[in-house]
Structure 1
């Protein structure tokens, strides 16, 4: 993909349930290190994101629900939308200069786990607003 990757994961399953590894060292660039992990909870019709980063790489995993995902390469103009469900077992890796947004169009709450290579710091903000999804 152009500026983002869809990484298919294979859950481990046994009689106790499932284990889904949403981040492994091999997913990231060699020099990247993780600085932040958080969970987004989104209600019906809410939109998250609508921004891009110049330094940060983020990994998104839909834990619960379905997300409408939009990505736009701000250098080339490439734009794509896709729907990602909790059962898809996809990690969305968003690279720098790729605007991204997530919308919950369903009644079911949307929960997304996010892993980032740069910690949010309001004094040194690497977040640049760009509305690509309403």
Structure 2
């Protein structure tokens, strides 16, 4: 088998809106993945925009900011405890968000941010429950 036959190129769809963009790097449907996998995706946000404002009943997510700065707002749905985390790609770390923790990433910076994410489940719209953990000005 030639190298050209061994390599697979998978087209991806970049979704763009006023907030920035969203791109799935791994959607769980690729060949040769382990029996169980989730999704890997990247998303961006421009100044003043919010990503998230939801929680999951099933999915756990891992987030690493790979470009820019973001403020992550969190709220435990059960206890109502709130938390804020400042993220900067120059000082990278990964945040693991379990089920029932609402999350919103906000860009207050001039430069867009890019966020790398892994979720342990394939996307299910029924598991993405809208929740305003952050509203403009709060």
After TM superposition, the score normalised by the length of structure 1 is: 0.72
Partner of 2:57: 54
Greater Rg, structure 1 or structure 2?
A: 2
Cα offset, 1:43, TM superposition: 0.7
Moved over 2 A (4+): none
SS of match in other structure, 1:87: coil
Equivalent of 1:66 in 65, 69, 92: 69
Where relative contact order (Cα < 8 A, 6+ residues apart) is larger, the structure is 1
| Aligned pairs, number | 100
Partner of 1:86: 89
Gaps of 5+ in 1: 1-32
Partner of 2:103: 100
Instruction: Provide the alpha-carbon RMSD of the alignment.
Output: 1.0
Partner of 2:132: 131
Partner of 2:42: 39
How many angstroms apart in 2 are the aligned matches of 1:110 and 1:69?
12
How many angstroms apart in 2 are the aligned matches of 1:53 and 1:121?
10
| Residue 115 of structure 2 is aligned to residue 119 of structure 1 | no
SS of match in other structure, 2:117: strand
How many angstroms apart in 1 are the aligned matches of 2:37 and 2:86?
26
Gaps of 5+ in 2: 1-35
After TM superposition, the score normalised by the length of structure 2 is: 0.70
Cα offset, 1:42, TM superposition: 0.8
Q: Would the aligned equivalents of 1:34 and 1:115 in 2 still touch at CA under 8 Å? A: no
